[in-house]
Amino acid sequence: MDIDAVLFAAGRGERLRPLSDRIPKPAVPILDVPLGAWGLHGLLAVSERAAINVSHLPEAALAALAPYAEEGDLEVLLEPEEPFGTAGTLRALEGRLADDVAVWNGDLLAAVDVGALRELHRSSGRPATLAVRRVERGADLVIEGHRAVAFIDRRTEPEAAGVQFLGVAILSREARALIPADGAQGLGGAVIQPLAEAGELSVMIHDGYTIDVGTPHRYLQANLDVLAGRAPPPPHPPRGTVVTAGSGSAYLGPGASAERSSLGPGAIVLAGAVVEPSGHIERSVVWPGLPATGTVVDSIWCDGAIDARENQATD
């Protein structure tokens, strides 16, 4: 059976360090659910067979994500320490890919309707269709209706308005034929830019919640948003318990230990973590299996407090 979906999960997660030194980015826990589970669920909802590429801490990534796929539904591509890049991954898999392939960046937390994206792709007749969101700055494309009419390089035009690619797309064999034969390649330069400049790229606006969990700040925000119900719920309910904490809610993962008095609004204590009786956690995540002490606010506790306020993130 041909592969008709790919979850990109091989990135090193440099901006997410030091968290990604311990757990690979697609497996970082959002209320004890691996981040990549949102993308895998979105793909498998409309796909018959998916592939996942892994590189950094591959065993941990697969152990976290495998429970979210039925046996036989997931194929694994193990990439070297220096990954192939998103386009390079498709090149490596090409002999096993279907004519149209859905792709999803493993660090995206969203509920993009891949079925609707696929329908738009088929009706447009163009080689590729991207899920995008409107932005006032940091745009990748200028669009007219459902078609891209210009490509924007964010590196040189960071303030440009337009739409931003979310990391979810349908790519035909014709689009994938643009990928160079060797070298690490990303989809932006290899596929998206030439198709946009040729007027051969379709887009679907996604107006729902999205977050690219690429920094400690965004990781904390994603946890808080899922806890508060602002973000799409995980494919399976978290294994822990949501409790009242002051004027808000807190989360206690399975096997986690904390006095109720130690939990403020937005306290997220993941599986097996322990908050010492003298501690206080608020708008923070305590990582799995770790003991937390002292006052932890707007931080991630991972062998000490990591400041996760927005101005600490390199977004």
The three-state (H, E, C) secondary structure of 70-97, written as one string: CCCCEEEEECCCCCCCHHHHHHHHHHHE
Same domain membership, residue 159 and residue 42: yes
Range of the domain at 7: 3-211
Q: What is the DSSP letter of 189?
A: I
Looking at the fold, whether 38 and 153 belong to one and the same domain comes out as yes
The verdict on pTM exceeding 0.85 is yes
Nearest-5° Cα angle at 246, 211 to 223: 15
In a domain, 224, yes or no: no
Q: How far apart (Å, rounded) are the C-alpha atoms in residues 240 and 156? A: 45
The pLDDT, as a whole number, for residue 71 is 64
pLDDT at 109: 97
State whether 179 and 31 are in the same domain.
yes
Last residue of a domain, one of 163, 193, 211: 211
Asked, for residue 218, whether it belongs to a domain, the answer is: no
The answer on 243 and 159 residing in a single domain is no
Cβ–Cβ < 8 Å for 10, 54:
yes
Residue 160 and residue 262 in one domain: no
Give backbone dihedrals phi and psi of 300, rounded to 5 degrees, phi first.
-120, 125
Of the three residues 163, 194, 211, the one that is the final residue of a domain is 211
Please report, for the domain that includes residue 78, its CATH number.
3.90.550.10
Cα angle, residue 273 at apex, residues 268 and 24 outer, rounded to 5° = 80
Q: Give kind and range of the element (H or E) at residue 162.
A: strand 162-172
Structural domain contains residue 73: yes
Which of 167, 196, 211 delimits the end of a domain? 211
- Report pLDDT for 311: 60
> Would residue 233 count as lying in a domain?
no
56: exposed, middle or buried (Cβ count in 10 Å: 0-12, 13-18, 19+): buried
Give, for 44, the enclosing helix (H) or strand (E).
helix 36-44
141 with 14, same domain? yes
The 3-state DSSP composition of the chain as helix, strand, coil percent (nearest 5) reads 25, 30, 40
Number of domains in the chain: 2
Asked whether residue 19 falls in the same domain as residue 110, the answer is: yes
Say yes or no: 150 and 100 in one domain.
yes
Peptide bond preceding 18 in cis form (omega within 30 of 0): yes
Is residue 126 domain-shared with residue 19, that is, in the same domain?
Answer: yes
**Cα dihedral sign for 191, 192, 193, 194?**
positive
Same domain, yes or no, for 32 and 93? yes
Decide if 234 is inside a domain.
no
Q: Which helix (H) or strand (E) holds 121?
A: helix 114-124
Residues 122 and 254 in one domain: no
Judge whether 216 lies within some domain.
no
Residues of the chain with pLDDT below 50 are: 313-315
203 and 252 inside one domain = no
DSSP 243: E
Residue 248 covered by a domain: yes
Residue 238, Cα to own-chain centre: how many angstroms? Answer: 17
User: CA 272 to CA 111: how far, in whole Å?
Assistant: 29
Contact 84, 184 (CB under 8 A): yes
| Rounded-to-10 torsion of CA 24, 25, 26, 27 | 50
In one letter, which amino acid is 80? P
Closest among 113, 102, 56, 107 to 81, alpha carbons compared: 56
CA end-to-end distance (rounded Å), the chain: 39
Residue 153 lies in a domain: yes
pLDDT in tens, 279-310: 999 999 999 998 899 999 999 999 888 888 87
